[in-house]
Structure 1
Amino acid sequence: MLTIQNGWLMEAEHQQSSHFSVRDTRDEISLLVVHNISLPPGEFGGPYITDLFLGRLDKSADPYFDDIYQLQVSAHCLIRRDGQVIQYVSFDDKAWHAGVSEFEGRERCNDFSIGIELEGTDTTPYTEEQYQQLVSLVRKLQESYPLIRHNKIVGHCDIAPNRKTDPGVAFDWQHFHALLDNDK
């Protein structure tokens, strides 16, 4: 059973990012955005995702990092391939995960959403551990933030369709929804 206290998932590893904004109390959390990330692209494990979200990515560690090491981005949580959860930003604050985005006519999705990164790529199948952990986390988030309904769980591709493709074709939405609906 997962526990959220003051916007923090108590069972997660906490790595507090400075890449966030205070959420306006009028912006009720009503959207959950599923992303993917791997650094360098297609490689799993290692410290680089956390380093990026904490603003300490060493550009000399990989040629790809030359273009991204100065980005100020974050997510609320990362779910690693083995199901481990790392939280970077309180759910009560705005992580900088969505960028230019729109959902149901509302722009600036960071204002009213929670962003969950899955360690992966658009075309690499996600692990069952990731699906199980995502479902557990979503259930707890829906309990704590009841405006996040099933139809308010979307991919980054859905809120920034001309810019983003994640979580990609490898994410099995049917499997995810079946797990989410099971044993309620």
Structure 2
Amino acid sequence: MNFRINDQHWLDKVKRVPSPFCDRRQDETDISLLVIHNISLPPGQFGGPYIEQLFTGQLDPDGHPYFREIHQLRVSAHCLIRRDGEVIQFVPFNARAWHAGVSEFAGREKCNDFSIGIELEGTDTLPYTPEQYDALRRLTRILLARYPQLSRARITGHEFIAPGRKTDPGLAFDWRCYKSGLSD
């Protein structure tokens, strides 16, 4: 499927699960960084509704012992890419998703203010799937085309904007594989 971003900054023809954990950007035209993350809930397990529940404030603390630690977090990302390549969008791209936390890129703090956050269903140590790389490359190409301040040089991992605090997308993420596919 080819992605298209509509006038409301949502992807057409993908599942939408609107998150309350977002707000307006101070400058909606200041979209100049793409941040790659990973997430799995419970940790190391894939599938299920838990990521969507976390990003919408509906995670049951009794659903898994780990959920007791995180169920009250107010976090979101713009999109999630599942293991099979399915893309789910939670926040329109012109809004500020709450994905980066305390962060800095190129001397500028508060990366949520100027970034788009993409979560990959995965862990730091397990390989990502070919379907995820394909979906991520297709999504990245459409984002680069739509938001002119984004560039290949302004794509990074959460671990690089929050060093010592975050480790994702981790050593399992193949940056060369991902970025080589962007030159198409």
Same fold (TM over 0.5): yes
Question: The residue matched to 1:8 in structure 2 has which SS?
Answer: coil
- Amino acid paired to 1:87: Q
User: Do 1:73 and 1:96's aligned partners in 2 also have CA atoms closer than 8 Å?
Assistant: yes
Question: The residue matched to 2:66 in structure 1 has which SS?
Answer: helix
Bigger mean CA deviation after superposition, 114-123 or 3-12: 3-12
TM-score of the superposed pair, with normalisation by structure 2: 0.97
User: Do 2:36 and 2:120's aligned partners in 1 also have CA atoms closer than 8 Å?
Assistant: yes
Alpha-carbon distance in structure 2 between the residues aligned to 1:131 and 1:175: 8
For residue 25 of structure 1, report the CA deviation from its aligned partner.
Answer: 2.1
The match for 2:66 among 51, 64, 67 is 64
The percent of aligned pairs where both chains have the same amino acid is 59
Partner of 1:180: 182
Alpha-carbon distance in structure 2 between the residues aligned to 1:79 and 1:7: 17
User: Do 1:27 and 1:111's aligned partners in 2 also have CA atoms closer than 8 Å?
Assistant: no
TM-score of the superposed pair, with normalisation by structure 1: 0.97
Question: The residue matched to 2:62 in structure 1 has which SS?
Answer: helix
The match for 1:118 among 96, 117, 120 is 120
For residue 21 of structure 1, report the CA deviation from its aligned partner.
Answer: 1.0
List alignment gaps of at least 5 residues for structure 1: none
Alpha-carbon distance in structure 2 between the residues aligned to 1:98 and 1:11: 26
CA deviation profile, 1:144-172 (whole Å, cap 9, x unmatched): 10111001000000100110000000000
Partner of 2:138: 136
What is the RMSD computed on CA atoms of the aligned residues? 0.8
Alpha-carbon distance in structure 2 between the residues aligned to 1:132 and 1:150: 16
- Amino acid paired to 2:18: Q
Aligned residues between the structures:
182
Question: The residue matched to 1:135 in structure 2 has which SS?
Answer: helix
Partner of 2:4: 3
Equivalences for 1:2-151 in 2 at 5 Å?
2-5=3-6, 6-25=8-27, 28-151=30-153
